[in-house]
Structure 1
Amino acid sequence: MKTVSYGVLIFNEQGQLLLAHATGQKHWDIPKGGAEEGESAREAAIREVREETGIELAADSLQELGRWPYLSRKDLHLFRVDLLTRDCDIAACRCTSFFPHRKSGAMIPEVDRFRWVDVAEIPALAAKSMTALLQSLPGFESLSPAPPRSATARTD
């Protein structure tokens, strides 16, 4: 049986995607993760964004993209949100989700850096599986920014 992770593609007004660097890994990723018991797909995606970035998203700001094949044993249920850069200061992003370091056992954040990237930069930064999934989304390569909503995110 396949598991499902829930994530959000966060775009700014330049059509750039927010990526988070996975601590201790070479790749960058979108905020995503599994649902907790009783959570809807939307609730899980919002919580994952909050835990991994500190960004608070309004439920009604998310556009449903649906469930997509990702790995042999995992699908991704994706949403999209368009934010104004002034409402989403990535310098203020902080991950509050921690795990034990595989060697030292010290608790380290799940992600340690954040950046806005042009769609063309994704293959050089993201894992091959994430790049393939994103490139399979209809119209992804030719994304133009949707009109962003002001004040739908907080990073405080």
Structure 2
Amino acid sequence: MDLMKGCQICNQRDLQEMHLGRKIAQRAWTGNAVRSTGQRARMKILSAGVLVTDGTRLLLGHATRSPRWDIPKGIVQEKEDVAEAAARELHEETGLRVEPTRLIPLGVHRYLPGKDLALFEWRLPSMPDLSSLHCDSHFTVGESLLPEFDRFGIFDWDEATTRVGRNMARVLSCFGPKFDTNQCRNL
């Protein structure tokens, strides 16, 4: 398997490139990079997310004021380790705590035009109790402070891929309905 080739669907990159992605995310915080021609170039933002699973089902949060569900994820902060960012986002958006070393890296995937997604798996023997989950990450609408996730659900693979947005569904399609996260199935 040639990991440098990447996934034909999402252009997943070799896990060693995650460090390069982190440097790209760090440069993005300083604004735009300057190309050797003197022109400004837009840098991609790096986001980090966690697939919380028992091997057959996936934890999703419902995005407030949206019909969509999503995995816990968010932007990697300047000088932040990618796995630490994924663990931080998981805690902020669900209340779940995991040591970054327990997260299994699944590569950096093309997510949005200006954003890549460093994806990790956290496989549990049983799924968390939904009533214990809470989102401490908020956004403002007018004068209201709303949580990023307003509720949580546990879904089998096929249903989960129909509930997320099309870009997340494309990334998740790399692993297929058997939830084989050992490798991107399209490599």
The separation in 1 between residues aligned to 2:162 and 2:93, in whole angstroms, is 22
| Residue 79 of structure 2 is aligned to residue 43 of structure 1 | no
The separation in 2 between residues aligned to 1:145 and 1:116, in whole angstroms, is 18
Alignment of 1:133-152 (within 5 A): 133-137=171-175, 140-143=176-179
Cα gap change, 1:145 to 1:4, in 2 (>3 Å): closer
Contact 1:21 1:27 in 2 (8 A): yes
Q: In the comparison of the two structures, how many residue pairs are matched?
A: 140
The separation in 2 between residues aligned to 1:12 and 1:116, in whole angstroms, is 10
1:143 Cα offset (Å): 2.2
Alignment of 1:71-150 (within 5 A): 71-85=112-126, 88-101=128-141, 104-137=142-175, 140-143=176-179
Contact 2:83 2:101 in 1 (8 A): no
SS in 1 for 2:111: strand
Q: Give per-residue Cα distances to partners, 1:109-147, cap 9 Å, x unaligned.
A: 11111111111102321111111111024xx3222699x
Contact 1:11 1:145 in 2 (8 A): no
User: Aligned letter for 2:145?
Assistant: M
1:69 Cα offset (Å): 0.5
Residue from 105, 121, 125 that aligns with 1:64: 105
TM-score by length of 1: 0.83
Structure 1 ranges of 4+ moved more than 2 A: 143-146
SS in 1 for 2:159: helix
The separation in 2 between residues aligned to 1:12 and 1:90, in whole angstroms, is 14
The separation in 2 between residues aligned to 1:93 and 1:52, in whole angstroms, is 8
1:53 Cα offset (Å): 0.2
Q: Which has the higher contact order (CA 8 A, sep 6+)?
A: 1
Unaligned 5+ segments in structure 2 are: 1-42, 183-187
SS in 2 for 1:130: helix
The answer for the alignment partner of 1:3 in structure 2 is 45
Unaligned 5+ segments in structure 1 are: 147-156
| Residue 68 of structure 2 is aligned to residue 27 of structure 1 | yes
Contact 1:70 1:129 in 2 (8 A): yes
Larger-Rg structure = 2
SS in 1 for 2:87: helix
The answer for the alignment partner of 1:12 in structure 2 is 54
User: Aligned letter for 2:94?
Assistant: T
Contact 1:82 1:145 in 2 (8 A): no
